[in-house]
Amino acid sequence: VVAELVEARQAEVLQYVLGYVSTATLVEVCMWKTISRLTDDALRQGTLTTVSKAILIDALQLRGIRYGRERQQAVRSLILSCEGKELTKLKVLIDGSGGYQNLYKLIYWDVTNARSRQEILQHFAANARKVRQLNGGEALGVKILSDVDDTLYSSGGKF
């Protein structure tokens, strides 16, 4: 089914399927050839939406990319395929799960290949400059970090 969607270039339907099924389980049980149809072929054909790319990166991260060169290359390719505001959206989606699988962990822990990590970080920096220039030199937005977790809930709101 996935191969047919990639070949038919049905980006929105593929995004729906990736969001509906357990893509992490799909990554775990499928042969790499099938996964590369999603990460390489679909990318080349322009069949992946930004949301689909984020879903695939999350699935690869959940199933472990630290010791998998092919998986790290797939993540690298997915990230480098995004430019400008699309890259900003991808980073927000990767970071937005609320769990420990986040952009920082992806770049500094999971991607062990120093060259790939450097390429990704350089891509982030170059695109940040471009987005700022297009926005009159101003930041596109402000990201507020907060750590409201068990501390607040465990204390019953009393400090």
In this structure, the number of other CB atoms found within 10 A of the CB of residue 7 comes to 13
Structure confidence by residue, pLDDT tens digits, 35-48: 888 888 889 988 99
Straight-line distance from the first to the last Cα atom of the chain, in angstroms, rounded to the nearest whole number = 54
Sign of CA dihedral 79, 80, 86, 89: positive
| Long-range contacts from 146-150, C-beta under 8 angstroms, 24+ separation | none
Q: What's the pTM value of the predicted model, to 2 decimals?
A: 0.84
Which residue's entry shows tokens 């072929």? 41
pLDDT, tens digit, 9 for 90 and up, residues 25-79: 988 888 888 888 888 888 998 899 999 999 999 999 998 888 889 999 999 999 9
